[in-house]
Chains A and B, each alone.
Chain A
Amino acid sequence: ELKVEQNPLFLSMQEGKNYTIYCNYSTTSDRLYWYRQDPGKSLESLFVLLSNGAVKQEGRLMASLDTKARLSTLHITAAVHDLSATYFCAAEMDSNYQLIWGAGTKLIIKP
């Protein structure tokens, strides 16, 4: 059974600092997704990682995938307040776009 674990679950940090969110999954998965969710809102797609060694960057966010270690990371560089949100990773089951989700990391960035 595919399980996804994120850590930390809660992160409070100062603007300008760097930090990394970790996402481990338990069995082989084809693809790894990162989403952002603001309070009371839906899920906004950030990255889709398709293969081992994949790295994608958008602004201050960078995601990577190591399929051998079954690990994905979301790195935040020089955080700004606007990045405060909950970040979810999700692993895809059976190549059918069905996602198994982590519990989310609530990120608070203090100005």
Chain B
Amino acid sequence: EIVLTQSPGTLSLSPGERATLSCRASQSVSSSYLAWYQQKPGQAPRLLIYGASSRATGIPDRFSGSGSGTDFTLTISRLEPEDFAVYYCQQYGSFITFGQGTRLEIK
């Protein structure tokens, strides 16, 4: 099983600031198999990034993904009020696993 560890657990920032979220895998993950999701309270997760760096349809360009091997990053260049949510990374290996999430909260 590939374990995904996200850091930090909680990130406190202000609107307009830059957010950098990390996802580290216990084994190497193909970039094609790494995705990021945003989840707001009471809602299903929303796909943001797939293939480590491709934005999903309709996702603003302030969201970007990067990384390879065991280290992946989600960056939000300038935080908007609607970006404060929980973010999950997900990989597809022998079976699918998710990270434990990073909560992005307003400072």
The answer to whether A and B assemble together is no
The residues of A with any CB-CB pair to B shorter than 8 Å are none
Chain B residues packing against A (C-beta within 8 Å): none
